[in-house]
């Protein structure tokens, strides 16, 4: 039985340089809808590059103190969003931060420890300027982080990221767990809808006010959980029956483009952020 | 060497009662053995045991021995079993990995797990698609298939592993007549051309009559009937065991009830080739 030529390969090496002609011909027979790589400004970057950029942005926003970190990251993220036409689709991500932002604003503005520069009072609670500044900075960090995640996820298909990470050594189990989890969520939502419809057909009232809805939906959690657990057992069997636990690397049928410039960008951005963070912490440079 | 079950009894973990009792069964290369029986008769459990997944992965307690090509299933790891005996489960939706974005990749999932060369993966996927005539589905999202389509894709995924033996638990349960014929053709070709040994669990006895050389009928975990397909599927006890006889047998009985006679040779041919449109001569 022919084994994958790349079994002994160390992760991260360049496939195109190693493929023999026969393998290259075979790889060319893999359909385009399987091998297609994303294209376009930023979107066409290797998924790992975009992943590293998102991590670097988050680190910069949180670790560089003052206004510079979050504002710089926000500017970069918004510019990227405009360039990739995902600005509107980022709104849900911003909305998702609202509960956290509200709590940050309230707690910092009214309860900032040691602040004695009052803006005004609401009943027994006094807002302070120091607290408000801290709250705004923290809010900017949270929003910058959320938007960097948004830009990454809106410009990167999960499959692309997993394919690339598997090639870099994530392992088939890691890829499966993440991939299955990501794909299971929409399926679970669909199934919940199906169960709700089925229960409605049997007279269960799942509409009306919030309390009535919750009361109506509670009986659905049992079938949802039991069917999900049953599926896990069946899927485990099916995976075993499909040689999922076979040793060695899986055959690579899809390679997303990567370039020396992108490798430089990844390492360069990580080192640059580490240097700036280190310098600000050490007091070598002072940023507003 | 065949798949061999020797005096096998099996019970699931946490249950006192065995689901299979003293089962003896052999499936040779190129042979199609049909399995019929009422619900809860032990058919799906037989599939798990014959493929080695029970007790290996499922757990439970097995008495007797199960071997594939001379190696006991207990001595083989799951991925080794997968290369010797492919299994198709009743529920095709959970047989799919749920991690791929096209049917092509779904079928390639097993061969890729084995680390085969890219060319071989491509060849296997294309062959599996073609053998079930589902090339048109190749680009589709596996999560967005109908039940019948998912069943064909799940079967194609098993075929792509090219095991010498197949255990199929109701592979046509969600298929229309055309899909059933397609699967029948593919399985017949596998047995005849590749010498694949097939254990085929089916409620559609017409399909069993067409494909199987031997048939066993299970009842409460034991073999109630066993023998040549024409004999077993025309046995008078079949109906009492929860199995509907094939249409040729039903026809024969209807003709007999009407006081007519059928040509015996034509009937035997019909029982063995139902679905192929065998001619049956009726003598008044």
Kindly report the nearest CA distance between residue B160 and chain A, in angstroms: 10
* Distances from the Cα of B151 to the Cα of B140, B144, B174, angstroms: 14, 12, 7
Q: Are residues B282 and B239 in the same domain?
A: no
CB contact under 8 A, B122 and A29: yes
Check CB contact under 8 Å for A238 and B101. Answer: no
B146 and B267 together in one domain: no
Q: Which residue of B has its CA nearest to A232?
A: B94
Residue B92 lies in domain? 3-245
The C-alpha of A88 sits at a distance from chain B's nearest C-alpha, in angstroms, of 26
As a whole number of angstroms, the distance between CA B219 and CA B231 comes to 17
Whether residue A96 lies within 8 A of chain B, CB to CB, comes out as no
Q: How high is the mean pLDDT of chain B?
A: 90
What is the tens place of the pLDDT at every residue in A85-144? 999 998 988 898 999 999 999 999 999 898 888 888 888 888 999 999 999 999 999 999
DSSP state of B192: I
Q: Which residues from chain A sit within 8 angstroms of residue B150, using beta carbons? A: none
Identify whether residues B256 and B201 lie together within a single domain: no
Q: Which residues of B touch A167 (CB under 8 A)?
A: none
Predicted complex ipTM exceeds 0.90? no
Question: Is there a single domain that holds both residue B222 and residue B136?
Answer: yes
Structure confidence at residue A7 (pLDDT): 41
Alpha helix ranges (H) inside B57-173: 78-84, 92-95, 103-113, 118-131, 147-160
**A5, A179, A240: residue with CB nearest B99:** A179
Other CB atoms within a 10 A radius of the CB of residue B77 amount to 14
Chain segment B247-283, per-residue pLDDT in tens:
988 888 888 888 887 776 766 666 555 444 444 444 5
Q: Which residues of B touch A241 (CB under 8 A)?
A: 51, 53, 78, 81-82, 86-87, 89, 95, 158
A189 has a chain B CB within 8 A of its CB: no
Q: pTM surpassing 0.80? A: no
Q: What's the pLDDT tens digit per position in A250-288?
A: 898 888 889 999 999 999 999 999 998 888 888 777 777
pLDDT at position B278? 43
Distance of CA A196 to the CA centre of its chain: 30
If asked whether residues B123 and B49 sit together in one domain, one would say yes
Q: Do A243 and B120 touch (CB under 8 A)?
A: no
Judge if B173 and B279 occupy the same domain. no
Number of domains in chain B: 2
Chain B residues touching A22 at Cβ < 8 A: 119
Q: Band of the pLDDT at B140, cuts 50, 70, 90?
A: very high
Domain match, B87 and B221 both: yes
B138 and B259, same structural domain?
A: no
Cα of B65 vs its chain's centroid, Å:
21
pLDDT digits (tens, 9 = 90+) for B65-106: 999 999 999 999 999 999 999 999 988 888 888 888 899 999
Q: How far is B92 from chain A (nearest CA, A)?
A: 9
Same domain, B228 and B114: yes
Give me the residue label for tokens 């397909």. Answer: B229
pLDDT the model gives residue B176: 92
Q: Are residues B240 and B250 in the same domain?
A: no
């Amino acid at each position: 039985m022919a084994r994958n030529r790349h079994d002994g390969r160390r992760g991260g090496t360049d496939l195109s340089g190693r493929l023999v002609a026969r393998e290259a011909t075979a790889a060319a027979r893999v359909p385009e809808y399987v091998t297609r790589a994303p294209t376009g400004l930023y979107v066409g970057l290797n998924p790992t590059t975009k992943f590293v950029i998102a991590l670097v942005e988050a680190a910069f926003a949180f670790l560089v103190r003052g206004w510079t970190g979050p504002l710089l990251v926000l500017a970069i993220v918004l510019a990227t969003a405009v360039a990739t036409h995902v600005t509107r689709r980022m709104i849900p991500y911003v909305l998702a931060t609202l509960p956290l932002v509200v709590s940050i604003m309230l707690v910092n503005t009214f309860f900032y420890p040691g602040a004695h520069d009052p803006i005004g009072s609401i009943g027994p609670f006094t807002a302070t300027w120091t607290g408000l500044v801290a709250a705004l900075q923290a809010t900017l960090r949270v929003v910058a982080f959320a938007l960097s995640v948004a830009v990454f996820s809106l410009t990167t298909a999960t499959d692309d990221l997993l394919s690339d990470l598997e090639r870099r050594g994530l392992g088939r189990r890691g890829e499966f767990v993440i991939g299955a989890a990501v794909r299971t969520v929409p399926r679970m939502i669909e199934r919940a809808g199906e169960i709700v419809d089925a229960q409605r057909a049997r007279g269960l009232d799942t509409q009306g006010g919030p309390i009535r809805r919750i009361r109506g939906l509670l009986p659905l959690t049992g079938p949802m959980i039991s069917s999900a657990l049953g599926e896990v057992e069946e899927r485990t069997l099916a995976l075993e029956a499909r040689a999922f636990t076979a040793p060695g690397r899986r055959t690579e049928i899809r390679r997303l483009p990567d370039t020396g410039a992108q490798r430089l960008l990844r390492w360069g951005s990580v080192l640059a952020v580490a240097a700036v963070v280190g310098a600000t912490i050490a007091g070598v440079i002072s940023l507003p | 060497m065949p798949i061999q079950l020797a005096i096998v009894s099996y019970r699931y973990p946490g249950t006192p009662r065995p689901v299979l009792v003293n089962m003896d069964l052999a499936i040779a290369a190129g042979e199609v053995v049909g399995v019929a029986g009422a619900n809860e008769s032990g058919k799906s459990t037989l599939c798990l045991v014959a493929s080695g997944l029970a007790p290996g992965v499922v757990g439970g307690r097995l008495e007797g021995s199960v071997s594939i090509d001379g190696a006991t299933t207990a001595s083989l790891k799951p991925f080794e079993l997968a290369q010797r005996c492919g299994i198709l489960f009743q529920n095709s939706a959970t047989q799919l990995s749920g991690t791929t974005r096209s049917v092509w990749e779904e079928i390639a999932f097993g061969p890729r797990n084995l680390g085969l060369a890219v060319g071989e993966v491509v060849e296997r996927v294309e062959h599996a698609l073609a053998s079930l005539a589902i090339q048109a589905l190749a680009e589709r999202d596996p999560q967005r298939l109908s039940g019948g389509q998912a069943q064909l894709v799940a079967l194609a995924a098993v075929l792509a592993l090219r095991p010498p033996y197949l255990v199929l638990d109701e592979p046509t349960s969600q298929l229309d007549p055309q899909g059933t014929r397609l699967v029948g053709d593919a399985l017949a070709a596998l047995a005849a051309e590749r010498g694949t040994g097939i254990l085929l669990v089916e409620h559609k006895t017409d399909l069993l009559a067409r494909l199987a050389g031997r048939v066993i009928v299970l009842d409460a975990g034991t073999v109630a009937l066993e023998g040549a397909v024409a004999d077993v599927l025309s046995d008078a006890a079949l109906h009492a065991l929860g199995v509907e006889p094939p249409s040729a047998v039903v026809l024969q009985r209807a003709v007999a009830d009407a006081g007519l006679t059928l040509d015996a040779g034509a009937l035997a041919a019909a029982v063995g080739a139902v679905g192929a449109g065998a001619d049956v001569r009726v003598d008044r």
